Structures are given as structure tokens and as C-alpha cells.
């Protein structure tokens, strides 16, 4: 079933997004076993993302052959476990985290590829810079020599109002395009999960993070919440 889901999804993404850019599919692997993740990789997944450092570390050696992303909220005391091991951190959401990442990355002689997380729906339950301060945040974060800013990440709110969601998505793409004009490293807009990725891709997302759509429903609901 995993292999079939992966193949079908990759086929759907083959045409690229609304801008004609290729779309990177990141398999969101929280709660999945190394066997399940390796099955997804064998079927064509090239990028995998964990949202807890403990799972990232536990499965690291048992999973092979894919780029590693970190997509969840990152506590500063866990940063050290990702140094040198993570290809893209999607959740650069505050200066305190940037400070810790900078310190650890510099000490290791490593550069952390990061996406700046934007709280697009201005939700209290989510972290990230506000859409209004996104440009300023990116400007500030460029001053950290061991962070390479590669784009933006956002999570849409839960809503039945698809026009509202579309407006949020389009405004994310706007912010992304504005910053991209002055930054050659900017190339990823990571936005879209199993329930909303079609809309996100229509509005210009070029990186989506899918869990349930690839692996089926998660076993433990408790594991879904961000720490």
C-alpha cells in the first residue's frame, strides 16, 4: 500500500506546481517504523522528515538513502542532535533557536540549511514569525553565518473556508517571491500536508510534507501533537 501511494502521489506531482517549478515530496515519517520508511524510499521517496528529535535520532541508522528533514518544533536543548545530520530544518521559528543553531553549527564547522517558519494563520497554537515580520526576520537571520536560509515554511490553519485558505496560501507565495528576488538561496516554499496539499501546490508551494497520504492513518493520536 505504501509503495502504491508513493507512486500515485509522485505521478500527481510530476507536472510541477502552478509556476511550473518541480515539487519536492517530503515523507512525514513520525510514528512510522524504519521498515515502512524504507519501503517508501524503495518506491521513490527521496526526502523524509521527522518532527521529533528523538525519533529522528532513533531511526537515523536504520533508514538509508534519503535526504533528512526536520519539520517539527525544535527545542533549543535538542539542537545538538541535528548538527551535521540534517539536510533541511523547516522550523526556524524564533531568534533564540537561530542563536543556538548558529553556536552549535559554527563549533562543528557546519552550515544549517533552514526554512523560516511563518505563522500564516496567526494562530496562537502555532509558532513562527508573523507574515508582517517575515521579511524583517529573514533580513535579520541572514546575519548568521552558519545558517543558510533556503526558503519559507508554513502550516495552514484547519478551516472549511477554502477561499480563506487560498488567500493565505497566495499571500505566502507573495512573501516568498518578494524575498526570493533578492536571495539566490531562496528556492523552497514548504507548504502542504495530506489534507491541503493540492490547494497549496495550486497556489505556488514547491515542497509538500505528507504523512497519512503515503502511510495511511497514524496509529497513536498522541504522537500527532507538536511538543
Identify the residue among 127, 139, 178, 194 touching ligand PLP (CB under 6 A): 194
Is residue 209 part of the contact set for ligand PLP (CB under 6 A)?
yes
**How far apart are CB 74 and ligand PLP at their closest, in Å?**
11
Closest C-alpha to 89, from 174, 143, 153 = 153
Is residue 72 part of the contact set for ligand PLP (CB under 6 A)?
yes
Is residue 119 part of the contact set for ligand PLP (CB under 6 A)?
no
Q: Which is nearer to ligand PLP, 175 or 214 (CB)?
A: 214
**How far apart are CB 208 and ligand PLP at their closest, in Å?**
8
In the block, residue with C-alpha cell 502542504: 192
Summarize the chain as % helix, strand, coil (round to 5): 40, 20, 40
Is residue 173 part of the contact set for ligand PLP (CB under 6 A)?
no
Residues 129-158 that bind ligand PLP (CB under 6 A): none
Is residue 10 part of the contact set for ligand PLP (CB under 6 A)?
no
Is residue 193 part of the contact set for ligand PLP (CB under 6 A)?
yes
Q: 83, 93 in Cβ contact below 8 A?
A: no
Inter-axis angle of helices 162-180 and 134-141, to 10 degrees? 40
Query: How far apart (Å, rounded) are the C-alpha atoms in residues 96 and 101?
Result: 9
Is residue 71 part of the contact set for ligand PLP (CB under 6 A)?
yes
Q: 116, 149 in Cβ contact below 8 A?
A: yes
**Residue count, binding to ligand PLP (CB under 6 A):** 13
Q: Which is nearer to ligand PLP, 30 or 59 (CB)?
A: 30
Is residue 165 part of the contact set for ligand PLP (CB under 6 A)?
no
Identify the residue among 6, 25, 28, 203 touching ligand PLP (CB under 6 A): 28
Distant-in-sequence contacts of 20-23, Cβ < 8 A, 24+ apart: 21/206, 22/206, 23/201, 23/205, 23/206, 23/207, 23/208
Closest C-alpha to 112, from 133, 86, 130 = 86
Is residue 41 part of the contact set for ligand PLP (CB under 6 A)?
no
Q: 175, 212 in Cβ contact below 8 A?
A: no
Identify the residue among 211, 219, 225, 227 touching ligand PLP (CB under 6 A): 211
Q: Which is nearer to ligand PLP, 17 or 51 (CB)?
A: 51
- The residues with which 68 forms a beta bridge, in sequence order, are 48
Please give the residue ranges that form the binding site for ligand PLP (CB under 6 A): 28, 30, 51, 71-72, 193-195, 209-213
Amino acid at each position: 500500500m505504501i509503495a502504491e501511494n508513493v507512486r500515485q502521489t509522485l505521478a500527481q506531482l510530476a507536472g510541477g506546481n502552478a509556476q511550473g517549478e518541480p515539487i519536492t515530496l517530503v515523507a512525514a515519517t513520525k510514528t512510522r517504523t524504519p521498515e515502512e520508511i524504507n519501503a517508501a524510499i524503495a518506491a521513490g521517496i527521496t526526502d523524509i522528515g521527522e518532527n521529533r528529535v528523538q525519533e529522528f535520532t532513533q531511526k537515523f541508522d536504520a533508514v538509508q538513502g534519503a535526504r533528512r528533514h526536520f519539520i517539527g518544533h525544535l527545542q533549543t536543548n535538542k539542537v545538538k542532535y541535528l548538527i551535521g545530520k540534517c539536510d533541511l530544518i523547516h522550523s526556524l521559528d524564533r531568534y533564540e533557536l537561530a542563536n543556538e543553531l548558529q553556536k552549535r553549527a559554527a563549533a562543528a564547522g557546519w552550515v544549517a540549511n533552514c526554512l523560516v517558519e511563518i505563522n500564516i494563520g496567526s494562530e496562537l497554537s502555532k509558532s513562527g514569525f508573523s507574515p508582517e515580520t517575515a521579511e524583517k526576520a529573514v533580513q535579520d537571520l541572514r546575519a548568521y553565518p552558519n545558517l543558510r536560509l533556503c526558503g519559507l515554511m508554513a502550516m495552514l490553519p484547519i478551516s472549511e473556508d477554502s477561499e480563506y485558505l487560498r488567500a493565505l496560501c497566495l499571500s505566502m507565495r507573495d512573501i516568498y517571491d518578494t524575498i526570493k528576488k533578492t536571495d539566490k538561496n531562496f528556492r523552497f516554499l514548504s507548504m502542504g500536508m495530506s489534507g491541503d496539499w493540492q490547494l497549496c501546490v495550486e497556489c505556488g508551494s514547491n515542497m509538500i510534507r505528507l504523512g497519512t497520504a503515503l502511510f495511511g492513518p497514524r496509529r497513536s493520536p498522541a504522537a500527532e501533537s507538536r511538543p
